[in-house]
């Protein structure tokens, strides 16, 4: 096609849009302002129509995203975007900085409300070279639609909040105004939690690598020594094109990031003379226990990965230095020397300590995973037999709790008050097979909230009956309750008189999901034990670390101390229990 003639005069953008909207053919050579194509709503007012636009190519993602972005000098309307995505279907060759005139048909890329206004080109005329300045964002925009398809530079700091898709898709989840809390960690379920969720969504900005494929060879926009930034790190001067793709607002980056990495924290220190900890092991499965049986149903896929997993878990526990350890997501494979819990105890004891585990004979429960209790035999003694709770939601839904009484020892003799530790792991929030009241009620608590709340109620009543027969009123409920702090299961236990040991623990989160941080792992104490609490802390050794530094990464990071030994952070308590 011969080049389109240059227009002698240009109609005002508003008139051009009105003519097009009314179906009146506009003069063939008069460009329509991109702002008129975008409009001030989620979808273009000219969708399905043929238009002529003119502007500068701000970024060419033809090979990776199937198109390029075009931006003009603006239509004077602050409510409309001046950028547009142009599909590369017809293989018109462009490069960043080209000034071009394009005739094409307007369409919306994607489905639902989160679509991207785009142009399917029919003809292109090069007009030389030009530059387009980036719009500067000093804070989160009230309306992201205003910047769709435009080149922007974010001068405000962005906080790295999540990196689930970093290794797989090159996407980093960031937020304006600091980290994102889990809604029901920050507010009660219902309208208040919904307001937090809406604010989180508004503040979120995905930083993307400009590619549409999975498992990229590297994350090009991060500094070479920071391929895995911890959550809590900050990004400054992010620059790219505002895109709406795959249902989420994102910035397709055009320049490397300036990253201020968050430091890894030192292990916590708590007072007291007896320390107890809890940790979700993220599926500790050991094959057949003899070096075979891999890949496992969950967890490690090879003996090498199991060795790396055990080494990281042992490094985590050694740094915490607890006397009693409550664990979750342990393979439910008995208590023989080939069992997962026996091999965990052996790994913990490689530094010379003698670790033993509670053995109720079977289970607890029939789930593929279970809870467990381990203790340092040189510091505490197991008092009596362990007890388990079955029935109701326990077994098929929540994992069966395991309770064991202990007493501090010194030089072979009892040296303090008896206390009871209860390991727990309530039903997850996943919605598989949820029916009726167990379905997501839209209040922010996810699925199976009724089962978790029933679990909490039954657990409290069971502990009132002294299941270990110790007679002690010093009790600790520990573990992954799969409920954030303001959700029904936790409030049920608090109303029954249990006290939150982590109420003053500072940054109180143990898990990060979709970039939102909150506490799924809890430490609730009976009033008598709460009076003996000397300190409580969460060690952010896992939740802030990306998956691509975990023991399954296969990138040379298998053995790097305790970091990312699990996807949950451990909780540590210090208690005053020894006889003065």
Tell me, what DSSP letter sits at residue 95?
A: -
Q: CATH number for the domain including 250? A: 2.40.50
Neighbouring-strand partners of residue 51: 104
pLDDT at 552: 83
Would you say residue 349 lies in a domain? yes
Tell me, what DSSP letter sits at residue 122?
A: E
Closest CA to 524 of 569, 483, 563: 483
Q: What are the CA-CA distances from residue 354 to residues 198, 319, 324, 349, 417 (Å)?
A: 50, 16, 12, 6, 21
- Asked if residue 196 lies in contact with residue 150, where contact means CB atoms within 8 angstroms, the answer is no
Q: What are the CA-CA distances from residue 421 to residues 176, 276, 311, 348, 365 (Å)?
A: 41, 8, 25, 19, 18
pLDDT at 559: 55
pLDDT tens over the chain, length 580 residues: 334 333 333 334 433 443 344 443 344 478 999 999 999 998 999 999 999 999 999 999 999 999 999 999 999 999 999 999 999 877 788 999 999 999 999 999 987 667 999 999 999 999 999 999 999 999 999 999 999 999 999 999 999 999 888 888 899 999 999 999 999 999 999 999 999 999 999 999 999 999 988 888 888 999 875 567 999 999 999 999 999 988 889 999 999 999 999 999 999 999 999 999 999 999 999 999 999 999 998 999 999 999 999 999 999 999 999 999 999 999 999 999 999 999 999 999 998 899 999 999 999 999 999 999 999 999 999 999 999 999 999 988 999 999 999 999 998 899 999 999 999 999 999 999 999 999 999 999 999 999 999 999 999 999 999 999 999 999 999 999 999 999 999 999 999 999 999 986 557 899 999 999 999 999 999 999 999 999 999 999 999 998 878 888 765 544 578 999 999 999 999 999 998 7
CA angle 416/419/425 to nearest 5° reads: 150
239 and 332: one domain? no
Would you say residue 543 lies in a domain? yes
Q: CATH number for the domain including 328? A: 3.60.10.10
24 and 125: one domain? yes
pLDDT at 180: 97
- Asked if residue 258 lies in contact with residue 251, where contact means CB atoms within 8 angstroms, the answer is no
- Asked if residue 100 lies in contact with residue 126, where contact means CB atoms within 8 angstroms, the answer is yes
b/e code 386-413 from CB counts within 10 Å (16+ = b): bbbbeeebbbebbbbbbbbbbbbbeeee
Handedness of CA 267, 268, 269, 274 (dihedral sign): negative
Would you say residue 8 lies in a domain? no
- Asked if residue 267 lies in contact with residue 319, where contact means CB atoms within 8 angstroms, the answer is yes
Closest CA to 451 of 478, 489, 491, 484: 489
Please state the φ and ψ torsions of residue 127, each to the nearest 5 degrees: -125, 10
- d(C-alpha 117, C-alpha 148), whole Å: 8
185 and 115: one domain? no
DSSP class per residue in 527-544: HHHHTTEEEEEE--SSTT
pLDDT at 92: 85
94 and 187: one domain? no
Q: Which helix (H) or strand (E) holds 84?
A: strand 83-87
Q: Which residues contact 423 (CB under 8 A, 6 or more apart)?
A: 278, 326, 327, 328, 371, 372, 373, 401, 402, 403, 478, 479
Domain boundary among 260, 287, 302: 260
Please state the φ and ψ torsions of residue 241, each to the nearest 5 degrees: -110, 130
Q: If you count them, how many residues does the chain have?
A: 580
Number of domains in the chain: 3
The parent domain of residue 102 ranges over 13-131
b/e code 346-376 from CB counts within 10 Å (16+ = b): ebbbeeeeebebbbbeebbbebebbbbbbbb
Q: According to DSSP H, which parts of 338-448 are helical?
A: 340-348
Would you say residue 4 lies in a domain? no
Domain boundary among 238, 260, 282: 260
Would you say residue 266 lies in a domain? no
98 and 146: one domain? no
Number of H helices, E strands in the chain: 11, 30
475 and 392: one domain? yes
DSSP class per residue in 157-217: -EEEEE-TTHHHH--EEEEETSPEEPHHHHS-TTHHHHHHHHHHHHHEEEEE-S--SSS-S
Q: Which residues contact 435 (CB under 8 A, 6 or more apart)?
A: none
545 and 448: one domain? yes
**Tokens standing for residue 239:** 């620059």
Q: What are the CA-CA distances from residue 239 to residues 87, 196, 200, 243, 254 (Å)?
A: 22, 27, 21, 12, 6
pLDDT at 89: 78
553 and 460: one domain? yes
170 and 319: one domain? no
Would you say residue 405 lies in a domain? yes
387 and 410: one domain? yes
């Amino acid at each position: 096609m011969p080049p389109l003639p240059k227009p002698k005069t240009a109609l005002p953008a508003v008139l051009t849009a009105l003519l097009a909207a009314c179906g009146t053919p506009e003069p063939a050579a008069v460009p329509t302002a991109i702002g008129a194509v975008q409009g001030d709503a989620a979808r273009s007012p000219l969708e399905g129509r043929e238009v002529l636009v003119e502007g500068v190519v701000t970024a060419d993602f033809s090979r990776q995203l199937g198109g390029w972005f075009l931006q003009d000098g603006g239509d004077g309307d602050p409510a409309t975007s001046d950028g547009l995505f142009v599909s590369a279907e017809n293989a018109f060759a462009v490069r960043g900085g080209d000034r071009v005139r394009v005739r094409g048909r307007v369409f919306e890329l994607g489905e639902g409300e989160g679509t991207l206004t785009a142009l399917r080109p029919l003809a292109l005329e090069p007009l030389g070279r030009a530059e387009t300045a980036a719009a500067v964002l000093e804070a989160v925009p009230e309306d992201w639609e205003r910047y769709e398809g435009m080149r922007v530079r974010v001068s405000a700091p962005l906080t790295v909040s999540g990196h689930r898709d970093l290794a797989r898709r090159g996407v980093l989840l960031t937020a304006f105004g600091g980290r994102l809390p889990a809604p029901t960690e920050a507010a009660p379920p219902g309208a208040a939690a919904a307001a937090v969720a809406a604010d989180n969504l508004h503040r979120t900005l995905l930083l993307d690598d400009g590619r549409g494929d999975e498992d990229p060879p590297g994350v090009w926009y991060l500094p070479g020594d920071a391929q895995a930034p911890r959550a809590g790190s900050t990004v400054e001067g992010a620059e790219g094109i505002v895109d709406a793709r795959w249902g989420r607002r994102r910035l397709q980056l055009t320049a490397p990031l300036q990253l201020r990495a968050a430091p890894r924290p030192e292990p916590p220190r708590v007072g007291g003379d007896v320390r107890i900890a809890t940790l979700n092991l993220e599926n500790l499965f050991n094959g057949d226990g003899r070096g075979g049986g891999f890949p496992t149903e969950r967890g490690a896929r090879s003996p090498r990965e199991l060795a790396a997993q055990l080494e990281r878990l042992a490094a985590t526990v050694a740094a915490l230095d607890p006397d009693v350890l409550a664990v979750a997501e342990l393979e439910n494979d008995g208590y023989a020397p080939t069992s997962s819990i026996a091999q965990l105890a052996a790994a913990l004891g490689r530094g010379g300590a003698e670790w033993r585990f509670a053995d109720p004979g079977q289970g607890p429960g029939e789930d593929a995973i279970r809870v467990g209790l381990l203790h340092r035999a040189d510091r505490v003694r197991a008092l009596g037999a362990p007890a388990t709770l079955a029935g109701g939601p326990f077994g098929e839904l929540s994992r069966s709790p395991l309770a064991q009484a202990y007493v501090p020892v010194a030089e072979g003799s009892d040296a303090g008050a008896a206390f009871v530790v209860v390991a727990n792991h309530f039903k997850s929030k996943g919605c598989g097979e949820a029916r009726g009241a167990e379905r997501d009620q839209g209040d922010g608590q996810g699925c199976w909230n009724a089962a978790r709340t029933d679990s909490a109620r039954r657990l409290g009543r069971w502990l009132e009956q002294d299941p270990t027969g110790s007679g002690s009123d010093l009790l600790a409920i520990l573990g992954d309750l799969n409920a954030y702090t303001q959700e029904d299961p936790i409030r049920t236990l608090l109303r029954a008189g249990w006290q939150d040991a982590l109420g003053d623990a500072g940054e109180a989160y143990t898990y990060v999901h979709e970039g939102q941080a909150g506490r799924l792992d809890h430490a609730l104490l009976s009033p008598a034990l709460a009076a003996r609490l000397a300190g409580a802390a969460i060690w952010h050794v896992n939740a802030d670390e990306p998956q691509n530094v975990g023991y399954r990464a296969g990138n040379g990071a298998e053995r790097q101390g305790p970091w990312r030994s699990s996807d949950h952070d451990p909780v540590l308590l210090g208690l005053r229990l020894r006889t003065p």
